[in-house]
Amino acid sequence: MSPPNTQSSLCRELKELGLSAGMTVMVHSSLGRVGWTVGGPVTVIRALLEAIGTTGTLVMPAESPQVCDPGTWDDPRIRPEWYATIREHLPVFDARTTPTSMGAIAEAFRTFPGTLRSNHPLVSVCANGPLAERITAEHALEFCEGRGTPFEKLCELGAHTLLLGVGFNRCTSLHYAESLVPGRRTTLSRFPMMQDGARVWMETRDMAVDNGTHFPVVGRQFIDTGAVRSGLVGDADSMLFSTRELVDFAESYFRRALG
């Protein structure tokens, strides 16, 4: 059995993978895959921040699907006859208090000192570091993973993406890449929010879920280009790559696959 992870061991492994001072990196993660860690998810966050230094910016998704219409929830405990009550009382998104469903590391990062959060009810993004305000300041309400969002900003800023124990099915930048093509797959999202002091239900167009149809294929093909650095961080199979390179590759793929 491998020894427990520590901040120093994780930081060393992150640097071996390719993280370096001054880097802006979006991290999609699974604490369970990283393995038993002294100090839990906060230790992972500290190791990431140590690896990129004070000039680097750490970014994580902070999605909150529990704020959307209950008719879309994948929760067998919820009965359809409850929908009206849930819709009437469902709290609106609050960037300070609404938790994220993106795992223990992302949830700990949401409240980590100095972390900022974009103001989208369903697909917010958290960031910590010199570029945090620039990344989180703008988040379009419609097509919340497309233009005018932190995902576009990460490409513009030359960010990297780190998949820490997860696959390309968790890589939100693939939604951004797909949003750029005419044949993009779309859906409608419904959620409550405050508007002019009143609580109203909004309906917006967004990217549809992939459900493993294209994202894993894009990931395998992108790995074959040699653009991905792979290694273990703790017990987690991890991958590091340029966000812009992935988006450019995936956009070309989606133009061929979706028309």
- pLDDT(245) > 70: yes
Q: Whole-angstrom Cα distance, residue 154 to residue 149?
A: 9
Least confident range from 34-38, 192-196, 227-231, 250-254: namely 192-196
**Residue 1 pLDDT more than 70?**
no
Confidence label for 2 from pLDDT (cuts 50, 70 and 90): confident
The answer to whether 120 touches 139, Cβ cutoff 8 Å, is yes
Regarding beta strands 236-242 and 160-164, do their DSSP bridges make them parallel or antiparallel, or are they unpaired?
A: antiparallel
Record the tokens describing residue 92, joined without a space.
Answer: 């609106």
Kindly state the percentage of the chain with pLDDT values over 70: 100
* Amino acid letter, residue 195: Q
pLDDT score of 259: 77
| pLDDT tens per residue across span 131-144 | 999 999 999 999 99
Instruction: Report angle CA 146, 168, 143 to the nearest 5 degrees.
Output: 15
| Residue 76 predicted with pLDDT over 70 | yes
CA distance 65 to 234: 29
pLDDT in tens, 40-73: 999 999 999 999 999 999 999 999 999 999 999 9
Report d(CA 21, CA 54) in Å as an integer.
8
Q: For the chain, give the mean pLDDT.
A: 97
How many residues would you count in the chain? 259
Average pLDDT over residues 223-239: 98
Which pLDDT does position 23 carry in this prediction?
A: 98
- Tens digits of residue pLDDT in 77-105: 999 999 999 999 999 999 999 999 999 99
Q: Percentage helix, strand, coil, to 5, in the chain?
A: 40, 25, 40
Task: Give the mean model confidence (pLDDT) for residues 231-252.
Answer: 98
Once rounded to an integer, what is the mean pLDDT over residues 139-151?
Answer: 97
pLDDT above 90: residue 130: yes
Q: What is the largest CA-CA distance in the chain?
A: 57
Place of tokens 């209950």: 70
Is the pTM for the entire model greater than 0.85? yes
